[in-house]
């Protein structure tokens, strides 16, 4: 019995020694399921494929860019040189017709918003241009016709005659919030179509001194000279604004750009297409923001409104009974807290119709009825 036990112990010891050697020197000879030589199976995740290509990863806006960029065009606006030299006989003798008609060329961008060929751009891009050429991203070119422009919002409408035009869809700019992702598309410095990304930095920017009527979307998406008139789109490729201006000390982008909301641009476009001009209300007053210091000086019971410092004689406001020193608080029940809001609210009124304007006169609150007039067009010097 003892001999049998000794043999069994030796056999177990040898077997364990063999397994140890194999596990150390040839581990691949031992399978996990007990079968020698069977490879180990590893579970992995493979990114899904679309048409043989890697699917867009989270954070990519390539789909929005592909949707919007075909509708963004480059605009070349040329102006004939009308300097005094062109009328100088000596200038004409030395330089001839070519020198006399030497053109000044400006570059900008535009957005196709209608299959009929209507484009939106900035007024300052095409202002006083004699010839406007539009270049599409597919290589086609066309001469554009100016439908109309509105210097007070810096919006212009062009029209081209081409078939199968790519069109961008209008988004709901009023639904934008600070922090939303936006893309700026245009032709900066004439290098070609470019897409930059950023976020909405602020909304309702006013009193920048750029336009008469201001309600800008501020963004940190890089906007440079040449981007003017281009598209500001959301993460799905819908049009949210028309890129207009930048704050810069060097001429390049510092991350502070401004765009006209698409809702404003669309309203102006529809008015220009329908009537050729934009009709706005006007009451003939000189406004100033009401500050806490002014309110305290005049012992006013209100803290917000617009102080009227001057009233045009025989103008709508004067005839209606508004006086210098009155503080406008509401226009047709719409609150006004600053000069920009007053201008916008009055401009929205229809000429030749009556409007109720609420004012604070000392300690009294009054409702004044005014017959609205049509706002005069901005003088050339201002444009």
Catalytic residues: 124, 154, 228
Tokens of 231: 């598209």
Place of tokens 């917000």: 304
Cβ contacts of residue 77 below 8 Å, gap of 6+?
A: 105, 106, 107, 108, 125, 126, 129, 131, 132, 133
- The rounded distance, in Å, linking the Cα atoms of 21 and 366 is 103
- The rounded distance, in Å, linking the Cα atoms of 274 and 377 is 18
Q: Which of 160, 301, 298, 184 is nearest to 233 (CA)?
A: 184
SS3 content of the chain, % helix, strand, coil (to 5): 25, 35, 40
| CB 125, CB 77: distance < 8 Å | yes
Classified as helix, coil or strand, 337 is coil
């Amino acid at each position: 019995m003892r001999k049998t036990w000794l043999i069994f112990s030796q056999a177990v010891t040898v077997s364990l020694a063999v397994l140890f050697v194999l596990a150390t020197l040839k581990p691949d000879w031992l399978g996990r399921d007990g079968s020698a030589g069977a490879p180990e199976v590893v579970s992995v995740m493979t990114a899904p494929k679309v048409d043989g290509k890697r699917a867009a990863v989270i954070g990519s806006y390539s789909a929005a860019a592909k949707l919007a960029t075909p509708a963004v065009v480059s605009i070349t606006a040329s102006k004939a040189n009308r300097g005094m030299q062109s009328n100088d006989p000596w200038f004409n003798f030395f330089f001839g017709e070519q020198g006399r008609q030497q053109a000044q060329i400006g570059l900008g961008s535009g957005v196709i918003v209608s299959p009929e060929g209507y484009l939106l751009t900035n007024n300052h891009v095409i202002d006083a241009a004699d010839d406007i050429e539009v270049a599409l991203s597919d290589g086609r070119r066309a001469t554009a016709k100016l439908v109309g422009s509105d210097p007070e919002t810096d919006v212009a409408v062009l029209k081209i005659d081409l078939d199968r035009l790519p069109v961008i869809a209008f988004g709901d700019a009023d639904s934008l919030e600070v922090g939303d992702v936006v893309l700026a598309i245009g032709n900066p410095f004439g290098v070609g179509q470019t897409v930059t990304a950023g976020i909405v930095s602020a909304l309702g920017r006013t009193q920048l001194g750029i336009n008469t009527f201001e309600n800008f979307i501020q963004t940190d998406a890089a906007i440079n000279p040449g981007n003017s008139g281009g598209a500001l789109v959301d993460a799905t490729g819908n049009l949210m604004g028309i890129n207009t201006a930048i704050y810069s000390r060097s001429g390049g982008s510092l991350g502070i750009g401004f765009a006209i909301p698409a809702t404003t641009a669309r309203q102006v476009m529809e008015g220009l297409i329908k009537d050729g001009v934009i009709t706005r209300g006007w009451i003939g007053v000189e406004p100033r923001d009401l500050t806490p210091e002014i309110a305290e000086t005049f012992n006013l019971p209100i803290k917000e409104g617009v102080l009227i410092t001057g009233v045009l004689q025989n103008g709508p406001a004067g005839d209606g009974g508004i006086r210098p020193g009155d503080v406008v608080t509401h226009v047709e029940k719409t609150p006004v807290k600053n000069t920009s809001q007053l201008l916008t609210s009055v401009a929205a009124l229809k000429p030749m119709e009556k409007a109720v304007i609420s004012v604070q006169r000392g300690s009294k609150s009054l409702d004044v009825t005014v017959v609205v007039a049509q706002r005069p067009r901005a003088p050339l010097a201002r444009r």
